[in-house]
Homo-oligomer: A and B are copies of this chain.
Amino acid sequence: MSAHASCTAAVMHGANRPVELQHFSAPELEPGGVLLETLFSEVCGTDVHLSHGRLAGVPYPIIPGHVSVGKVLAVRGEPRDVDGRPVRVGATVTFLDVVGTCNACWFCLVGKMPNRCPSRRVYGVTCSAKEGLYGGWSQLIYLKPGVSILEVPSTLMPERVIAGGCALPTAIHAVDTARIQLGDRVLIQGAGPVGLSAATLALLSGAGAVYVVERHEVRLAMARDFGVDEAIRLDVTGSNGHVERILALTDGRGVDVTIEATGVPAAVKDGIRMTRDGGRYVVVGHYTDHGEVGLNPHTEINRKHLEIRGVWGVDFSHFHRMLRILDRHGARVAGGKGWEHMVSRTYGLEEVNQALADVETGRIVKGLIRPNPVRTSR
């Protein structure tokens, strides 16, 4: 195991401090443990929040990077993936970033919300770098026994999997909750990775029309590339041109389903206006606290006969279906450019501070981290 006796990882030491590279020894594998050479990780909005210390309970220093794809370098014992196949050295795999759900508490067994299990920990977020290589911004990742691993089929290239990344399973959860029927008109608020993934999934679900409302022109262009029926610039002047446009497109009634993925509280009020009476309104983009919005229970909920659903996190089923969806549909989206068209740029480990800045300013839609040098063959 000398070839990977040590590695480099990018470490976040706390709020508003630059991420720094650091050397780590390769871990001793426990029985059932797996060591990965990282092919790709990603940088997402959560990483920006982490860099500003906005999440509670983060055990800095951490190695960011929650969803990743890697190549199996070593295993100990006979770990198996969720489909029951042995995890083989040399295989390309991905894994659910959430680990340690207990399957013994009320949330796991009665509430059936492992996404709210108090024991859950998240690679790249709530695992300390002092404990080991538990994040994707590292040349090596250690998968503890019990991590839910999936082999990436040979028909599915790693770039496409990581282009789905953490946003796609979240969007799958949101779209499931939205219960889109064939022919429904769907509005997506926000075209960051989650919104863009939700818009693409809505198209794949046979929606009658998919509209996107978004502030940044680069994201509107991307949404058009992915084939939405209309990408509408958010009107923040108060004249509400975007609301009028959506109503004009929908016989004055509003869309059947809206998925909110901007994270801006005021967007919720705006979105409800664009949703029809008796429609469904899914809130998936509010992963940090940006305060309140005033809602009118009479006109906006009760009389409107509206269904509002918050969607938090994912469970393994969403992650499992991500691979199947990408394998079956990932090549043909974006007019044949494939899911990886969502990726704006790939960064090396030494560029992660730049990557964080680019996500924060909205210059890019989705950024990848490639911690190891490119090799000729995988």
A residues within 8 Å of B by Cβ? 82-84, 101, 103-107, 109-113, 115-116, 146, 148, 172, 175-176, 181-183, 201, 204-209, 229, 251, 253, 260, 263, 265, 268, 276-278, 283-299, 301-312, 315-317, 320-322, 324-325, 327-329
Contact = CB atoms under 8 A, between A and B. Distances in A.
A287 B293 contact: no
Q: How many chain copies does the complex carry?
A: 4
Q: Which 5 A-B pairs have the closest CB atoms?
A: A292-B294, A183-B321, A204-B206, A286-B302, A301-B310
A182 B111 CA distance: 14
Given A107-B277, A290-B297, A308-B309, 13 more contacts: A101-B103, A104-B148, A109-B148, A111-B277, A113-B278, A113-B305, A205-B206, A206-B206, A289-B298, A292-B296, A293-B297, A305-B311, A306-B310
Contacts of A291: 296
A325 B182 contact: yes
B82 A109 contact: yes
Contacts of A320: 106, 109-110
A272 to B, nearest CB: 10
Given A84-B105, A251-B83, A278-B111, A310 B321 contact: no
Most chain B CB atoms below 10 A, which of A268, A302, A303: A302
Nearest to A112: B317
Contact of A316 (B110, B146, B278): B110
Contacts of A172: 182-183
A277 B84 CA distance: 17
A293 B295 contact: yes
Contact of A302 (B110, B201, B283): B283
